[in-house]
Homo-oligomer: A and B are copies of this chain.
Amino acid sequence: MQSIDGLENEISLETAFEATPPTPKRQTGKKPGRPKGKSSDQTRERILDAAERLFANEGYDGATLRDVAAAADVQLHAVGYHFGPKDILFDTVISRRSVIMTELRMNALSAARRAAVGGVVPIETLVRDYISPFVLSAGEGDRGWRTYAALMGRLANSPLGTEIIARHYDATAREYLKEFSRALPDVIEADVIEGFSAMVAAMLGLCADTGRPARLGQPKIAHRKPSDSLETLVRFQTAGFKSLGNVDG
């Protein structure tokens, strides 16, 4: 099997095939194989955190799996191993927090419905219950929620984002829309939906925290407390909804 043709050994197929094995560069600190103590859940969370941040900052195409792996301090293949293709990773990033957000909103809506007098939930309550879980999570929650809010804002008007949002958030939106229509019986559905869309857009724009408001204002403006922004937003959007009723507003 082994031919003895001295010189050609340098570039023979044989060397080409077995050159890699002899390099035992295993002395690079970390060793392969299953690590000793930690469970893989921690690795998964680290990858999701890194992906969330990179997708928010660079976009779906701008964030590479290598960036994600490096930011999570794992090898490239760990990403694919845990989450499969890139689009699945992306969807996992979204759904990790969308389930929490959906539960908060639906719980608030259930409570509001129980407390409603005459079967009608006040508009301000609807606005607040939909907006505040997101705004407060983005404003006072941990850094992960802030990043998630930026990512959702970024997704808002893109085709990919529209598809993802539909899958994760449309069901809740429809429940709230039912109540809005009940509270605004003389407003056509198209207007209610347009108001709801305006509210969501403003909410996302606020939480995306792009820095534009600070840039448009006087330099001395300090960073606002999230609760102040929330109250302003609630008042603004509530008044907007109410104005849809009377034609001679």
Contact = CB atoms under 8 A, between A and B. Distances in A.
Interface of A: 57-62, 150, 153-154, 156-159, 161-162, 165-166, 170, 173-174, 177, 189-191, 193-198, 200-202, 204-206, 208, 210-213, 215-218, 221, 224, 228-229, 232-233, 235-244, 249
Copies in the complex: 2
28 contacts: A57-B159, A61-B62, A156-B157, A157-B205, A157-B208, A157-B210, A158-B210, A159-B210, A165-B212, A166-B212, A170-B212, A170-B215, A173-B216, A174-B216, A190-B228, A193-B217, A194-B213, A196-B216, A198-B205, A198-B206, A201-B201, A201-B204, A235-B244, A236-B240, A239-B240, A239-B242, A239-B249, A240-B240
A95 B12 CA distance: 50
A236 B229 contact: no
SS class of chain A's interface: helix, strand, loop or mixed?
helix
